[in-house]
Amino acid sequence: MPGVDAPVVPRRGRPRENRAVIRREAFATRLFFLLAAACLLPWVGPAPALAAGVLFSLLLGNPAPARTATWSKTLLQLSVVGLGFGLSLDTVVRAGVRSAGYTVVGIALTLALGALLGRLLGTSGPLSTLVSFGTAICGGSAIAAMAPVVKAKSEDVAVSLATVFTLNATALLLFPAVGHLLRLDPGAFGLWAGLAIHDTSSVVGAASAFGPHALSVATTVKLTRALWIMPCVLGAAYFVRSSERPKFPLFVAGFVAAAAIRTALPSFAPAWNVLVAVARQSLVLTLFLIGTGLTREVLKRVGVRPLAQGVALWFVVSAATLAAILTGLIPPL
């Protein structure tokens, strides 16, 4: 009849397409949990876990990106605290104090060089600041703390996080290979990783390949760097007249508290050693979860200029730090 719309006939094959999508998503979810469980096995290391997470995300897609981001952040902080039970408080304080001087110098030089590279490459002000700050101190945590102070747009934050994340994944695989090639001892490698790799997870993952001593040095040096988030953000807020104030990284305090507990109660050493072993394997799972965050969308966000700035800055910082360690300019801990 005129004026009456004909009924919409569903396309053939659409139910099949829907069922195929559902089956694919169900398969991806089951495989995700299977791989996550496998990361808890003691013979699975940090590098394979990260690689598995990245490949899974790029091939099948992350089934729950928001949840994995939250899980990885929480699990990383708990794992770092757990690693504190493997160190004496004296070791933590001594390493932190001895590394403080060149940590400050390294942060200052990295920020200055990052600002110069940003101008040369034409990277926007806030984006350049975030990439430089993430490289200088603590990757994603530093970027998140500085972003509101410099009034960065959400796209600037996303691009800087994607840039630093990509370099973190590269560092986890590249640093141990270079360390073995140059035959660095565990202390030297831990110092290099703690000073030159952006994010705590990648620092711990890379240092794990060189044994417990490298891990203890790298973790302590890295957390000493993380303490400078607050002073740097407060300084930036003063100069740009921002009311934003950073939050103290509580997991750093937890790490020190764990070391203090081990020092005060040495008779419980077997229990502390179990906690440390659990923390190390939890970090493997953390790296798998972090790897699943490297999605195709994240890679698309990484522009040529910020990536060029991040790579150039990271290369100079890594090479200069390694040269200073090898020549004795930065003494071993």
Q: Where are the domains of the chain?
A: 14-326
pLDDT for 185 equals: 93
pLDDT for 321 equals: 93
pLDDT for 302 equals: 67
pLDDT for 220 equals: 87
pLDDT for 42 equals: 86
Collect all residues with Cβ–Cβ distance below 8 Å to 307 and sequence separation of at least 6.
163, 166
- With 0-12 / 13-18 / 19 or more C-beta atoms within 10 angstroms meaning exposed / middle / buried, residue 42 is exposed
Q: N- to C-terminal Cα distance for the chain?
A: 89
pLDDT for 143 equals: 83
**DSSP result, 137-194:** IIHHHHHHHHTTTTT--HHHHHHHHHHHHHHHHHHHHHHHHHHHHTT--HHHHHHHHH
pLDDT for 261 equals: 94
pLDDT for 320 equals: 93
pLDDT for 1 equals: 45
pLDDT along the chain (333 residues), means of 10: 49 61 80 91 84 86 82 85 86 80 85 90 84 84 80 77 82 90 93 89 86 88 82 77 65 86 91 90 86 76 80 92 91 77
pLDDT for 324 equals: 92
